[in-house]
């Protein structure tokens, strides 16, 4: 694992350099078939489902999560049909710690031979959602949301930039996909930390798309609506929870498309953004049309 090192781009700025000289030299290795992905928040939810589906399509994935129990469970399930250490690896990482972020980038370099095609910044801190009225939000909850939902995507993107510039797919180039939310522009009560950071992630996406264009790296955002992932966790596996469990006919009819979203819908959005080499700085809403629906009081 590379030591955490720093170098200055000018006397007033500090940037993380996550790679040893040996790792930088190893970036000459040829990439295997399929693309190399990092997925954060991959222990459960959208990240877990996305990782599984990408592996099924022949891609390689580094799963990153802070929840050891969920991450180990997901890795054990994936190992039943894929080879750990070759097709995928699971890496425990606290995205609130810059040293952990650096270690995750270093692990990706080792796993993928210096080539990274896609970074999906999917992890999010949702602990404050619906928890407290604005008058009672703690600074700790606010800062946790900022650090995981906004700072971590910037730091991990920065740390992975040498790998993305060395993408095995020269035509599409490296790709960063930031998982925002429709809560960036519509909200429910007591969602300030989550909504603010998801909106901030859109600004970060736009700025990064412009800044990283000279390096051949495209940056886009996906804004999921209601994607039902109640079946994508350890307890759901133990209980035999199916995707449709708990959903009502009204839940489905609420959407213009006639159903609640699935992880497969996010996969299709990811695949499009990865392959669409003329698309950068875009915000792709995946919500079944809900944000276009006028709602009147009954």
- Catalytic status, residue 296: no
196's CB contacts (< 8 A; 6+ apart) are: 145
Angle between helices 152-165 and 192-212 (to 10 degrees): 30
CB 34 within 8 A of CB 59: yes
* Residues 171, 48, 65, 208, CA torsion sign: positive
Alpha helix locations (H) across 166-239?
192-212, 234-239
Q: Nearest-CA neighbor of 280 among 170, 205, 193? A: 205
Cα dist from 170 to 24, 45, 217, 246, whole Å: 18, 31, 10, 44
Q: Which of 7, 194, 272, 296 is catalytic?
A: 194
Which positions are annotated as active-site residues? 194
């Amino acid at each position: 694992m590379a030591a955490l090192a720093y170098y200055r781009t000018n006397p007033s700025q500090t940037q993380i350099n996550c790679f040893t000289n040996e790792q930088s030299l190893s970036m000459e290795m040829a990439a295997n078939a399929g693309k190399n992905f990092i997925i954060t928040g991959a222990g459960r939810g959208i990240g877990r489902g996305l990782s599984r589906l990408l592996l099924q399509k022949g891609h390689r994935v580094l799963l990153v999560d802070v929840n050891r129990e969920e991450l180990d469970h997901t890795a054990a399930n994936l190992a039943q049909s894929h080879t750990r250490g070759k097709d995928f690896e699971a890496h425990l990482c606290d995205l609130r710690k810059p040293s952990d972020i650096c270690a995750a980038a270093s692990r990706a370099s080792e796993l993928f031979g210096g080539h990274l095609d896609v970074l999906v910044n999917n992890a999010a801190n949702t602990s404050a959602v619906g928890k407290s009225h604005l008058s009672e939000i703690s600074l700790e909850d606010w800062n946790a949301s900022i650090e995981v939902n906004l700072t971590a995507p910037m730091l991990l993107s920065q740390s992975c930039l040498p790998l993305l510039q060395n993408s095995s797919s020269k035509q599409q180039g490296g790709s960063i996909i930031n998982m925002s939310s429709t809560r960036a522009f519509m909200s429910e009560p007591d969602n300030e930390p989550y909504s603010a950071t998801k909106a901030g992630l859109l600004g970060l996406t736009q700025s990064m798309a412009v800044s990283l264009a000279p390096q051949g790296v495209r940056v886009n955002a996906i804004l999921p609506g209601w994607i039902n992932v109640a079946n994508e966790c350890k307890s759901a596996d133990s209980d035999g929870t199916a995707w449709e469990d708990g959903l009502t006919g009204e839940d489905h009819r609420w959407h213009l498309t006639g159903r609640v979203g699935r992880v497969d819908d996010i996969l299709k959005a990811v695949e499009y953004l990865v392959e669409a080499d003329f698309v950068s700085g875009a915000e792709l809403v995946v919500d079944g049309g809900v944000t276009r629906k006028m709602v009147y009081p009954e």
